[in-house]
Amino acid sequence: MGKKLLVLALLFVFFIGLISGCKEKMGGYDRSCKTHSDCGWACGCGCININEDCDSTALCFVEGECVCIDNVCTDYYNLNWEDWTFEDCENKLPEGKIDHCQSIIAKFVAREDLEKAIRKCATLEEVAAYSCYRNIIESVTEEDLTRIEKLCGELGSSLCYERLVEHILPIEGIDKAEELCDKAGSNSCYGDLARTIAVEDLDKAEEICDKIRTESCYTWIVYQVRGDEDKFEKAMSICDKIEEGTFKDSQYSKDRCYFELNRGGALLNFKSEEEAMDFCRKKIKIEGVKSSCFMNIAKKSTNPLVCEEIAEGFHKDTCMNYIKNNQRAQNL
Rounded Cα gap, residues 116 and 33, in angstroms: 33
Cβ burial of 248 (10 Å; 0-12, 13-18, 19+) is: exposed
Residues of the chain predicted below pLDDT 70: 1-27, 244-249
Q: Smallest Cα–Cα separation from 49: which of 65, 59, 34?
A: 34
Rounded Cα gap, residues 66 and 97, in angstroms: 11
Element (H, E) at 69: strand 66-69
pLDDT at 87: 97
User: Taking the model in full, what pTM does it have?
Assistant: 0.77
Half-sphere exposure of 64 (CA within 13 A, CB side): 20
CA torsion sign, 140 to 145 to 150 to 153? positive
pLDDT at 247: 59
The torsion defined by the Cα of 105, 110, 115 and 119, in degrees rounded to 10, comes to 20
- Crossing angle, helix 174-184 and helix 202-212, to 10 degrees? 10
